[in-house]
Structure 1
């Protein structure tokens, strides 16, 4: 008797397989047809922007820019989706099985979202977007220039975009509003709202009335300064969209109305400016963050004990002029880039001692006192609304800004003004032109008696000339500081400045006076008149004490280890040995030469042609008079 064939049984079972019994109960619902577990879909309320070094960037449900690490913690994801969390639960449901207490039947229900799948989907979505660095892509509140040169006025809760070119000869589109988020290649996140520009632009009559109001202050240079003030208001509203951001410094004595002027400017700018009387450079940077709002300082006096703080603020304004960046370390030992693109305004009784690189980036306007019993200036109640109307006008006129700026700069070039003057005053005039005219300048406009660019530049020429005179080279100001410094005198004697003692020492050389009190005085304060031997540049020869009037004479000024010279430059921008660098840049000067001042071992000195310190012709005339008189 033959038993069952096991091989045949196995073959028969394999040819007709049956599903194994499901011992788990009801299975979880299958995903919907076409579902991709790594796809956020087009209706996702959160927008992935990209990634950088395991950091992932999104616009959240409220269009705020959010950065997350790789963990995607549940609380972070919930905060990212906010009130739209139901979308997440529907797209990536987390199921759990429950038993009906009455029927005892089991069913699957949605219990939140599957965090692991959400994490995968969001990382993959950012990977598909590619690398994203918020530096240079994130834009704060204020004015910006778009991809095609249009103006983007980011008001925090929305953007007004204007100045777009027309398409194929069509009429240029009117300014339009956009929600926060991606616009071109830039991200404009949702931020606390600023006052929006008005629906209607300021008419020319309102701009004229504002200029009349500005002229009620007693400007030292009259209507010129009032017009430059108006121009700055235009530039301040457009700051981040400009290539260069000119600054303004208003000076005037007590009683000149600086405070009331600042109040008017603050009413016009509203929350489009940061106004302060006491802030540090770091504080201003933190307040601005990525914003391009104007910055207004009142009572920033040069002698109030905060010179170092104010110097840093002025340096920040210098960086903002061209939008240069600065790097700062963070608590995480990472560097963070900060780029300022704001127009600054300062007001004080006296302006600070400004290096040439700062002076030629700003216009300085001067106020004088009002006569006694002058009634206080009053401002119209509606002036706060004027600022919103002016900003609307600037947006509507923006399409011609580049052409207008080119016209003013070309005219300034034709009249012989420098590139920096064209950048500073050309930008001011172009912004003022957007406020006061409705079309770009045209040299052959028959409606104008004089080309308006030429007329405007001629009008402000005195202000530019003053700026030229005040923007002395740093080296020239350094040697002037030295020449004007008064040296200590014995009791009862009058103190005289360095230039006077150098002149006396020269007279002694010209008249061959053997004993010279002046030369001894200079030596005590770290200075000496010297001749330079031929070949000194190659290090083959050094210096001699000056003794012949028909040879080139130099003034040797001791280096930073000399206490007497330290006292001369104490508290100035050339302290701590900086005077050595500044003096060495003078024509014909050179540094790092050893000189025996007669008070010990030789000291390192900077050698300056004596003609930079005194008027040689005047010294020679005085020497001749003394020689003839026998004095």
Structure 2
């Protein structure tokens, strides 16, 4: 008889527990790395953040297998919390059902989960008004390290490398001045252009934390230094920049920028509002300018039938030879910088710029509170100088950002006044006064149509702009009956009542003659009435446009002063 047969049970009884088995952490009070935090549910999936890899995972209930959960949440943690020794067999048994049930219960209790709760790579504003930096670590500017996960209702998963961390030294004053000198190397046509670009760097660093994110458009002839400045921005910003050439499509922006805080550096951007790619760029830029967390952003349908929203917090800096004519809504969100001639002065190499970029970012993050105070001071100064709130948001934010790089002390009212005066704010106020209503009126007044004009006792056929026709009626209201009748056919009437010249414009968007006058503009299919009503004297009224015609809804507005006679007391037209 083989003695080994009888001796085997004896050896089995003395075999110790497997080396990988550990008692429950609760029994030994020993913390084990791993686990999960429930975030909620979305479309039947369970949203959790793994405490092992610090990332968000969307799991179907069927995916909660033993191997999957041990992979995501840690083998040691799973064994420490969900393994028990089978009393009969004397071996550890993993309670897969208990862990899977716990995940489902906690996700259901957390409620609905949406992607907008994520704060990925970048610098974000917390509920206390301070900043938090999310990269390989999650940390505050004072050096405090936070665990990745839920904070203030937002989810901070582990992200990529920001190129700077809590141990990165601040840029020195000399290093800041060196970067500024490089930005001033082109021959800019306006003062403080290099300072505006340096300020844009600060906007790009903390873009997601800002209330407004102004954009910069550089223009000028070939070889004037535009692309070189963009290259500097790319090197300095590192992983916080999305670099591209030419106008991009909406799909490319969705995939590259959605939910991030990266700035966009776009070279060879020839602004042509008639091109779809250009329109897409302006659409994303408009949204990025003022989008706040919690806003839906752009909502698009998916093949599954569920709507998906895309949020953008990206300031744009672009360069092109032909900037094109910006719409008023874009002109007030972009600062246009023009260069001429050949660049000269300080240049930066790529290694130099990449070493300075992290230091600049660390400096700006540390001075966040100083920036906030400076921003308020500069905004108030621009408003008191006659600028509107949009100009204060656009130019004021950039100037305050520049000041933050150069001074650890917030700008006083006197400092802000000096900055604004150096900028030449009066000229920029004129630029920002271009509006949709002014463009709408210009589109109407510059249109040319055939008229019969009385001249030297005879009627002559002439092509006049609408402005010229209105001017003719204002100067001789009773002597141009054919012009008055033709204006009525076009849906227009000029009248003098109670000492004021007024232009009536028919409201109906189905008026074919008016649609022809607005052809080629944004108001070719209607909408002019609401926009023109914003002009001086603008109001809605019911009037007869022509002799024998019925009363219709019209928009009444003051006739522009340059079309009026120098002094008059005419009869009503």
- Aligned residues of 1:359 and 1:471 also touching (Cα < 8 A): no
- Aligned residues of 1:597 and 1:603 also touching (Cα < 8 A): no
Which protein shows a greater Rg?
A: 1
Match of 1:370 in 2: 341
Match of 1:317 in 2: 285
Equivalent position to 1:388, from 358, 368, 390? 358
1:212-291 aligned at under 5 Å gives the runs 212-222=181-191, 224-276=192-244, 277-291=246-260
For residue 487 of structure 1, report the CA deviation from its aligned partner: 3.5
For residue 237 of structure 1, report the CA deviation from its aligned partner: 1.0
Query: What are the Cα deviations for residues 167-211 of structure 1, in whole angstroms up to 9, with x where unaligned?
Result: xxxxxx4x3555643455532112343433582221111111111
- Aligned residues of 1:499 and 1:613 also touching (Cα < 8 A): no
For residue 377 of structure 1, report the CA deviation from its aligned partner: 8.7
TM-score scaled to structure 2, two decimals?
Answer: 0.79
For residue 107 of structure 1, report the CA deviation from its aligned partner: 4.8
1:500 partner SS: helix
- Aligned residues of 1:559 and 1:603 also touching (Cα < 8 A): no
1:440 partner SS: coil
Distance in 1, Cα, partners of 2:381 & 2:476: 53
Match of 2:323 in 1: 350
Distance in 2, Cα, partners of 1:80 & 1:339: 34
Q: Which runs of 5+ in 1 are unaligned?
A: 1-25, 98-105, 163-172, 444-450, 532-545, 625-631
- Aligned residues of 1:584 and 1:606 also touching (Cα < 8 A): no
1:144 partner SS: strand
- Aligned residues of 2:41 and 2:113 also touching (Cα < 8 A): yes
For residue 463 of structure 1, report the CA deviation from its aligned partner: 4.1
Match of 2:131 in 1: 151
- Aligned residues of 1:360 and 1:468 also touching (Cα < 8 A): no
- Aligned residues of 2:233 and 2:265 also touching (Cα < 8 A): no
Equivalent position to 1:188, from 132, 145, 156? 156
Distance in 1, Cα, partners of 2:182 & 2:120: 32
Decide whether aligned partners of structure 1 residues 304 and 480 sit closer, same or farther in structure 2, where only a CA change above 3 A counts: closer
Decide whether aligned partners of structure 1 residues 376 and 419 sit closer, same or farther in structure 2, where only a CA change above 3 A counts: closer
Match of 1:328 in 2: 299
- Aligned residues of 2:473 and 2:494 also touching (Cα < 8 A): no
For residue 292 of structure 1, report the CA deviation from its aligned partner: 1.2
Distance in 2, Cα, partners of 1:77 & 1:573: 59
- Aligned residues of 1:596 and 1:603 also touching (Cα < 8 A): yes
For residue 428 of structure 1, report the CA deviation from its aligned partner: 1.9
Query: What are the Cα deviations for residues 288-322 of structure 1, in whole angstroms up to 9, with x where unaligned?
Result: 2221111233343343741x543443343333233
Equivalent position to 1:452, from 412, 415, 418? 415
- Aligned residues of 2:533 and 2:539 also touching (Cα < 8 A): yes
TM-score scaled to structure 1, two decimals?
Answer: 0.72
Match of 1:528 in 2: 492
- Aligned residues of 1:501 and 1:521 also touching (Cα < 8 A): no
Distance in 2, Cα, partners of 1:507 & 1:400: 58
Match of 1:425 in 2: 395
Match of 1:63 in 2: 54
Match of 1:543 in 2: none
Decide whether aligned partners of structure 1 residues 354 and 191 sit closer, same or farther in structure 2, where only a CA change above 3 A counts: same
Q: Which runs of 5+ in 2 are unaligned?
A: 1-12, 453-460
Matched residues, number:
534
Distance in 2, Cα, partners of 1:280 & 1:115: 46
Match of 2:173 in 1: 204
Asked if residue 48 in structure 1 is aligned to residue 19 in structure 2, the reply is no
Query: What are the Cα deviations for residues 111-141 of structure 1, in whole angstroms up to 9, with x where unaligned?
Result: 7x4432221122344467x446445642122
For residue 468 of structure 1, report the CA deviation from its aligned partner: 4.0
Distance in 2, Cα, partners of 1:620 & 1:255: 55
